[in-house]
Amino acid sequence: GQNIDQPTEMTATEGAIVQINCTYQTSGFNGLFWYQQHAGEAPTFLSYNVLDGLEEKGRFSSFLSRSKGYSYLLLKELQMKDSASYLCAVRGATDSWGKFQFGAGTQVVVTP
Partner 1 sequence: DSGVTQTPKHLITATGQRVTLRCSPRSGDLSVYWYQQSLDQGLQFLIQYYNGEERAKGNILERFSAQQFPDLHSELNLSSLELGDSALYFCASSQRQGSYEQYFGPGTRLTVT
By CB under 8 A, name the binding residues for partner 1: 30-31, 33, 41-45, 48, 50, 87, 89, 91-92, 96-105
- As measured in angstroms, the least distance from the Cβ of 47 to partner 1 is 10
**Which C-beta is closer to partner 1: that of 48 or that of 70?**
48
| Rounded distance between C-alpha atoms, residue 112 and residue 105, angstroms | 22
| Rounded distance between C-alpha atoms, residue 70 and residue 64, angstroms | 6
**Which C-beta is closer to partner 1: that of 69 or that of 105?**
105
What separation in angstroms does the CA of 27 have from each of 13, 31, 51? 38, 13, 17
| Rounded distance between C-alpha atoms, residue 108 and residue 74, angstroms | 12
- As measured in angstroms, the least distance from the Cβ of 4 to partner 1 is 10
Q: Which residues pair with 47 in a beta bridge?
A: 34
SS3 at position 45: strand
**Which C-beta is closer to partner 1: that of 14 or that of 56?**
56
**Which C-beta is closer to partner 1: that of 82 or that of 91?**
91
- As measured in angstroms, the least distance from the Cβ of 75 to partner 1 is 19
- As measured in angstroms, the least distance from the Cβ of 35 to partner 1 is 8
